[in-house]
Amino acid sequence: MIKGKFPTDKFQSLETPFYYYDMDLLRETLKTVKKETENKKYSIHYALKANANPLILKEIAAYGFGADCVSGNEILRALQCGFPASKIAFAGVGKTDREIKIGLDNDIFCFNVESLPEMEAIERLASETGKTTRIALRINPNVDAHTHKYITTGLEENKFGLNEPDLPKAIELISRSSHLQLIGMHFHIGSQITDMSSFENLCVKALELQNWFSGRGISFEIINVGGGLGINYHHPNHCPIADFEAYFRLFGKYLKLQENQTLHFELGRSVVAPCGSLISRATYVKEGISKKFLILDAGMTDLLRPALYQAYHHIENISSGKEYETYDVVGPVCESSDVFGENISLNQSQRGDFIAIRSAGAYGETMASAYNCRELPASYFSDSL
Ligand SMILES: *Cc1c(COP(=O)(O)O)cnc(C)c1O
């Protein structure tokens, strides 16, 4: 089995667990995205919620990408890390007045509006400041993303987005307001999508909706198809970069843009997941009745995805070259769901070995908690270790 390359000698003096980011891989990924989208009317907004570590954000901002934020504090973080306000979009179902004001005060690119009462709140706050603000309608396209139910967001009766029956009211509200400028449609159907036909269905639906709007004299500067491109969690060493070429080609084929129209993408996971690993030490090897447990010093508080949505992460013992054995790899937290993987094949492991949990750069560090009074994990970067 091929394993990832890690500077384990440099890890010796560090306390575990921590996140380790391969910055060369991040840059290769960003270059690939840039290459596949330049010379096209495509614009990339990186979704901060996947990883909001300032050093990661600065690197992404340096490539000229915009930011997709889902809270007021994410907007502030994006601004601090070099994303220009003119490239910040703000989504989320529960924007508070404080958060809307952060967006208005900084004159961000666009609010992606998810409900009628939210639109009324933005209109009221914008009129109080005398500003006109750009909005896009986040529409629930009722497209199945064929992914885990907790990360499916585009089916009907989901908390996200406006449903089609809301649209006539939305248009009416906008046409009555002198503070809202409608510039686009926004969609986001889910995350870790590997079935490309879901994106094809989204394109068909987006064009249908565009027709509906143009029948009412409304055209859009932007169509925003959200994020969701999946990565290969099973083979981090063979497939370190997602298939951006096929992804962007699909949209080129199925979503023909009008003159003066730009297609926006909000990529999160596919940009940052592969470059991050959670590095831990084995605390104990415990012989069970019919299994062996490898108990790590990292737990669900450091990387929640396996406990939250039964996510798979590839696990490697990066200290041992011994014969392979089978383990249940678990954390120390007092929850039965604190399990990183069952029946995992690892080089024979012992107390003190470094264990790498791969593809943890997205929805890893950002979801860390202090449950059980645990420390938040530190982060280190290949550039500066
Ligand atoms: C989470 C999110 C994204 C990013 O999704 P990924 O699957 O990480 O690419 C994009 N847009 C919105 C609105 C989101 O909530």
Any idea which residue has 């809307």 for tokens? Answer: 100
- Ligand 1 contact via 188 beta carbon (within 6 Å): yes
Is 269 close to ligand 1, i.e. is its CB under 6 Å away? Answer: yes
Using a 6 Å cutoff on CB, does residue 268 contact ligand 1? yes
The per-residue pLDDT for 200 is 96
Q: What is the residue-level pLDDT of the chain in tens, covering all 385 positions?
A: 789 999 999 999 999 999 999 999 999 999 999 999 999 999 999 999 999 999 999 999 999 999 999 999 999 999 999 999 999 999 999 999 999 999 999 999 999 999 999 999 999 999 999 999 999 999 999 887 777 777 667 666 778 899 999 999 999 999 999 999 999 999 999 999 999 999 999 999 999 999 999 999 999 999 999 999 999 999 999 989 999 999 999 999 999 999 999 999 999 999 999 999 999 999 999 999 999 999 999 999 999 999 999 999 999 999 999 999 999 999 999 999 999 999 999 999 999 999 999 999 999 999 999 999 999 999 999 999 9
Q: Are 316 and 2 in contact (CB under 8 A)?
A: no
Residue whose CB lies within 8 A of the most ligand 1 atoms, among 45, 48, 188, 269, for a mutation test: 188
Strand partners, 279: 18, 356
Atom of ligand 1 nearest to the CA of 70: 15
**Could you tell me if the CB of 179 is within 6 A of ligand 1?**
no
Tokens of 58: 């600065």
Per-residue tokens: 153:
């967001």
Distance CA 33, CA 279 (A): 27
Please indicate whether residue 161, judged by its CB atom, sits closer than 6 Å to ligand 1: no
Q: How far is the CA of 324 from the centre of ligand 1 (A)?
A: 37
Smallest Cα–Cα separation from 367: which of 22, 99, 45, 51? 51
pTM: 0.96
> Bridge partners of 252?
none
Does 226 contact ligand 1 (Cβ within 6 A)? yes
Distances (CA, A) of 48 to 67, 205, 362, 364: 7, 26, 10, 12
> Which residue type occupies 146?
H
What's residue 147's pLDDT? 74
Copy the structure tokens of residue 246: 């096929």
How far is it, in rounded angstroms, from Cα 203 to Cα 385? 44
User: How far apart (Å, rounded) are the C-alpha atoms in residues 84 and 106?
Assistant: 10
Q: How far is the CA of 191 from the centre of ligand 1 (A)?
A: 7
Q: Is ligand 1 within 6 A of the CB of residue 50? A: yes
Establish whether residue 227 lines the binding site of ligand 1, counting it when its CB lies within 6 angstroms of any ligand atom: yes
Please report how many Cα atoms fall inside a 13 Å half-sphere around the Cα of residue 157, on the Cβ side. Answer: 1
Question: Distances from the Cα of 202 to the Cαs of 39, 223, 250, in angstroms?
Answer: 23, 11, 11
